[in-house]
Amino acid sequence: MKQEFLLPDLGEGLTEAEIVQWLVAEGDTVTLNQTLAEVETAKAVVELPSPHAGVITTLHAAAGDVVLVGSPLVAFEIEGAEESAPSAAPAAAAPAAEHAEEGSGPNLVGYGAAPSAGRPMRRARRSATVVASAETDVRIAAPHDAIDEAPPVREHRERPRSTPPVRAYAKAQGVDLTLVAAELGDRVITRADVDAYRERIAERTAGFGARPAAEPAAPAPRSVATGERRTTRVPIRGVRKATAEAMVQSAFTAPHVTTFHTVDVTATTELIASLRAGAAADAPRIGVLTVVAKAVCLALGRYPGLNSHWDAEAGEIVQQHFVDLGIAAATERGLIVPIIRDAERMPLGELAGAIAELTRTARSGKTPPADLTGGTFSLTNIGVFGIDAGTPILPPGQTGILALGAVRRMPWEHHGEIALRDVMTLSLSFDHRVVDGAEGSQFLKAVADVLQEPGRAMLLA
């Protein structure tokens, strides 16, 4: 019998998702929990598992399409089942835990099923016509006239081996990874491989009127020709769209104030060098961000207003007695702020490990949606870009965010003399409804004191 599968709420009330790529095609036989597709929400790239075992009869969307939650996504033919109303996967993680124990239901834990040791083999299609589903697009190297006059012909192939950031980069460049894999063989495709493939295609098609591989089809960035290329249009979707909406909401809701403090952090950099010299090879790497994170946790205990949020509906300021610390991460998909839960309980080494894991997960595009909400205070390290100071915007619902500037070796007053010291600027933005200027300044000074004398401060941790 036929069974429709509706796009589920993938967590935190998300309303839509973009199809990144299909991992199955019409006519395939799939098993329960087999990954059907990768979809991009406003928070993360998500693997979508199958809620049924059966034959796929219809894919209702193509790669690049944006699908609303509750809309038809896949139709199944299920042997021996009675036809029923369309199904949608549960959004919460609790049902998935029950299924995991029973072994009889789909593992829909917000961001998809865990990868299995071996993906089930898919039945080849019998029809010569294949659905347009993020598979091979022969338009990349076809003559321009063929592109305009003939519909794209796509064929199903096994999923190329690459990371989500590389797949996103290839998509933006208009490069089909299945074609790259055909040339490289069975190995993980890198960003350099994508660039090399584009260069080879450009050489092959030079002088034949072919569309350059760098001009991707919608919804990737597209150029508008007016005698010469003068503009590029980039669709506002996914993380970038969600970030923009959140920043506008925050900027026009909370009255922002930013205060700055430049501090001598030589003692901190010396402590870090000493800890690294004596650390085991596999120990988490402690850096300035780790020490600042610890300093912030200590200071929030003394100045809880910075760890509060404004509840307009209840008419209350809610003080939180725990620190769910957000760490801003710049990824190829845009800015995200993953959360370290209960950061105030972590010693320095554990905090360093949590930051390292958070960074790895964010760069791979696999941060679960649940790890991107509920922060109580945030950090953003603009120093890695060589920037000294800025005015960061508060994540919605938070009262404070601290930006770390670059550590610079410069002349500084030290014990009454001028010496070369390691110096950095801290930039604190806070919600002036919750925190006044005095408390914001005192909090920033408390963080700076830890960085000036980290040894003494850590004894109090």
The catalytic site residues sit at 432
Exposure string for 57-74, b = 16+ CB within 10 A, e = fewer: eebbbebbbbbebeebbb
What's 77's DSSP letter? E
Contact by Cβ (8 Å): 440, 319: no
Taking every pair of C-alpha atoms in the chain, what is the biggest distance, in angstroms? 86
Rounded distance, CA 134 to CA 132, Å? 6
- Start-to-end CA span in the chain (Å): 62
Burial of 408 (0-12, 13-18, 19+ CB in 10 A): middle
What are φ and ψ of residue 117, in 5° steps?
Answer: -65, -35
> How far are the Cα atoms of 221, 238, 376, 398, 457 from residue 432, in angstroms, in the given order?
39, 30, 16, 12, 28
What's 103's DSSP letter? T
Rounded distance, CA 198 to CA 192, Å? 10
Contact by Cβ (8 Å): 19, 100: no
Q: Count how many Cα atoms sit within 13 Å of the Cα of residue 217 in the half-sphere of its side chain.
A: 15
3-state percent helix, strand, coil for the chain, nearest multiple of 5 = 30, 25, 45
CB atoms within 10 A of CB 202: 14
Rounded distance, CA 426 to CA 444, Å? 8
CB atoms within 10 A of CB 282: 5
Contact by Cβ (8 Å): 346, 291: no
Rounded distance, CA 352 to CA 407, Å? 19
Nearest to 335 by CA among 381, 296, 292, 374: 381
Helix (H) or strand (E) holding 269: helix 266-277
Exposure string for 100-119, b = 16+ CB within 10 A, e = fewer: eeeeebbbbbbbbbeeeeee
